[in-house]
Amino acid sequence: MTATEPSTAPLRVLVADDEESMRHFLQRGLRRLGYEVDAVADGNAAVAAWLRTPYDLGVLDVRMPGIDGVAALGRIRSSDPEGLVVLMTAHGTIATAVEAMQLGAADFVTKPFTIDELEVRLRRAFGLRAATRENRQLRSLLDGPDQGLGLIARSPAMVALTQQIDLLAQSVATVLIGGESGTGKGLVAEALHLRSERRQGPFVTLNCAAVPDNLVESELFGHAAGAFTGATRSKPGLLLRANRGTLFLDEIGDMSPAAQAKIERFLQDREFLPLGSQQEIRVDTRIVAATNRDLHELVRAGLFRQELLWRLDVLSVAVPPLRERREDIPLLIARNLERLAAKGLPPRSITPEALGALTAYDWPGNVRELENAIERMVALSGERTALGVPDLPTEVRGPGDEVSREGDDNYEAARRRFDRLYFTNLLVRTGGSITEAARLAGISRGHLHRRLKELDCDVAATRDASRGNPRP
């Protein structure tokens, strides 16, 4: 698959009517309007066809041999809760739109009708569903931490990433999102959906790390009634719920081996088997996956399937760590201060010195760590309106502040303390490498050696400290 492959196929409509002339009339008319149309002659065949590959919309006659259109509608919607069905009635079977809606239909038409009349109803049904979904997405954005303001991208690295997202959104190919913890992989997955032609379809998330291993499969693929103890009713899986939309598999490195094998098969055939069912289901679902783990490493350790990695890694996106996009930091802080103010916490500004320190810090926990830091600072700052250097978390505060705290001793002692802090920080950053630290400081290696001895600095301890450091 390539990035230029269109994101969605033509809309598929299923026609069910026992009269052959009616089937032909609908097939011909709807095909001319650009729909892909299948036609069947009774209710059972309609349900079977729908369960095999969900349609975008069904046009079902009410009176048919076997199970009628109303019963077929019920079964379709119990497996595909968002399934759209328009019922066709001869005079007298269904009298009102209300009655049809109560049965779960999107609309109804009374025979005889023209293709144009039907087309108006189909468009209205599609439009209504799209609007409902858009509202839901808008609402979840507004309720969510992000408040619908989207991905902040001022730094060159993030500008490049958003351009890449726009390109990848055009395709149906699977995308694998990598990046350290807290960099915004979840937001990137959502942006891929919202910028694609599928934006009106569902965006469904499965956090593979949060769902117990034995439940991942039934969550993803659904199950038939009686598939296991406690499964009294059949349940549609997330893959089906995300039909025509995007399924986001978060923390895919934590997926169980059994689920890995099934997802791999789905990516190959675009079909899957719900647990305990004999009926393959085919859906048009785009898969986006994310992980902060090294999947190649997991493959080597025998914990992740090599073939699945190949299939996932068709297109990949690397979300850069925050320290490589520092230009975004002031805006991220501003947005977080607004978000907290909206929650009723007193509005805050921030002093240039504090902002400088926050921008210079390395943020091993990335945007999530930054968000937590701001929240803590606001919570602990009492009634003051401007956050300053004293409010900063200790790890963010530079050595300068430590030094000025005890400004009452002599210059030599203050300088010793500054140098100790400065060189210790430098050595932690370089993983204890004196050569590298000297290079960064712009002094000779010999000079640094002497100074460290005078200061009684423990170089080995800085090596230990730097193990927890993301970028030695």
Ligand X SMILES: Nc1ncnc2c1ncn2[C@@H]1O[C@H](COP(=O)(O)OP(=O)(O)OP(=O)(O)O)[C@@H](O)[C@H]1O
Interacting residues toward Mg ion by CB under 5 A: 186
Edge to edge, the sheet with strand 36-40 lists 36-40, 12-16, 57-61, 85-89, 107-110
What number of H helices and E strands is found in the chain? 20, 16
Cα separation of 217 and 379, whole Å?
A: 42
**C-alpha dihedral (77, 82, 87, 92), degrees to nearest 10:** 70
Maximum CA extent, the chain: 102
Q: List the Cα angle 204/208/209 in 5-degree steps.
A: 135
Instruction: Report angle CA 469, 471, 472 to the nearest 5 degrees.
Output: 80
Q: How far is CA 347 from CA 55, 278, 328, 378, 384, in A?
A: 50, 59, 21, 9, 10
Report the partner that residue 184 touches, choosing among Mg ion, ligand X, none (CB closer than 5 to 8 A by kind).
ligand X
- State in angstroms the smallest separation of the CB of 298 from Mg ion: 17
Q: Is 468 exposed, middle or buried (0-12, 13-18, 19+ CB in 10 A)?
A: exposed
- For 228, the 3-state DSSP assignment is coil
C-beta of 325: minimal distance to ligand X in Å? 8
Q: Which does 244 bind (CB under 5 to 8 A by kind): Mg ion, ligand X, none?
A: none
Nearer to ligand X (CB atom), residue 207 or residue 256? 207
Report the partner that residue 120 touches, choosing among ligand X, Mg ion, none (CB closer than 5 to 8 A by kind): none
**Contact partner at residue 452 from Mg ion, ligand X, none, CB < 5 to 8 Å by partner kind:** none
Provide the strand spans (E) within 380-470: 386-387
CB of 229 to Mg ion, least distance (A): 33
Q: How far is the CB of 371 from ligand X (least distance, A)?
A: 6
Q: Which residue is nearest to ligand X (CB)?
A: 184
Nearer of residues 74 and 186 to Mg ion, judged by Cβ:
186
- Main-chain dihedrals φ then ψ at residue 38, nearest 5 degrees: -115, 150
What is the distance between the alpha carbons of residues 33 and 326, in angstroms, rounded to a whole number?
A: 51
Nearer to ligand X, 368 or 451 (CB): 368
CB 315 within 8 A of CB 3: yes
Place of tokens 């705290």: 405
Please report the beta strands in 375-463, taking only residues with DSSP state E, as ranges in sequence order.
386-387
Rounded to a whole number of angstroms, the minimum distance from the CB of residue 191 to Mg ion is: 14
292 binds, among Mg ion, ligand X, none (CB under 5 to 8 A by kind): ligand X
Q: Give the Cα-Cα-Cα angle 147, 148, 151 (nearest 5 degrees).
A: 105
Measured from the CB of residue 294, what is the shortest distance to ligand X in angstroms? Answer: 13
Q: Which is nearer to ligand X, 9 or 331 (CB)?
A: 331
In the complex, what is the shortest distance from the CB of residue 176 to ligand X, in angstroms, rounded to a whole number? 13
CB under 5 to 8 A by kind: which of ligand X, Mg ion, none does 183 bind? Answer: ligand X
Least gap, CB of 415 to ligand X (angstroms): 39
Q: Nearer to Mg ion by C-beta: 187 or 240?
A: 187
From ligand X, Mg ion, none, interface partner of 146 (C-beta below 5 to 8 A by class): ligand X
Which does residue 83 bind out of ligand X, Mg ion, none, counting CB within 5 to 8 angstroms by kind? none
Nearer to Mg ion, 129 or 185 (CB): 185
CB nearer ligand X, residue 106 or residue 340: 340
Kindly tell me which of 78 and 469 has the beta carbon lying closer to ligand X. Answer: 469
* Residue 368 interacting partner from Mg ion, ligand X, none (CB closer than 5 to 8 Å by kind): ligand X
Q: What residues line the site for ligand X (CB under 6 A)?
A: 145-146, 151-153, 158, 179, 181-187, 292, 332, 367-368, 371
CB 54 within 8 A of CB 80: yes
Q: Which does 181 bind (CB under 5 to 8 A by kind): Mg ion, ligand X, none?
A: ligand X
| Minimum CB distance to ligand X smaller for 86 or for 332 | 332
Q: Which does 54 bind (CB under 5 to 8 A by kind): Mg ion, ligand X, none?
A: none
Q: Which residues pair with 291 in a beta bridge?
A: 178
With both helix axes pointing from N to C terminus, report the angle between 257-269 and 213-221 in degrees, rounded to the nearest 10: 20
The distance of closest approach from Cβ of residue 368 to Mg ion in the complex, given in angstroms and rounded to an integer, is 9
Cβ contacts of 390 within 8 Å, gap of 6 or more:
none
State in angstroms the smallest separation of the CB of 433 from ligand X: 29
Closest CB to ligand X among residues 48, 151: 151
Closest to ligand X by CB, 46 or 288 = 288
Shortest reach from residue 208's CB to ligand X, in Å: 11
Q: 259 Cβ partners below 8 Å, 6+ apart?
A: 208, 213, 216, 217, 220
Main-chain phi, psi angles of 431, to 5 degrees: 70, 30
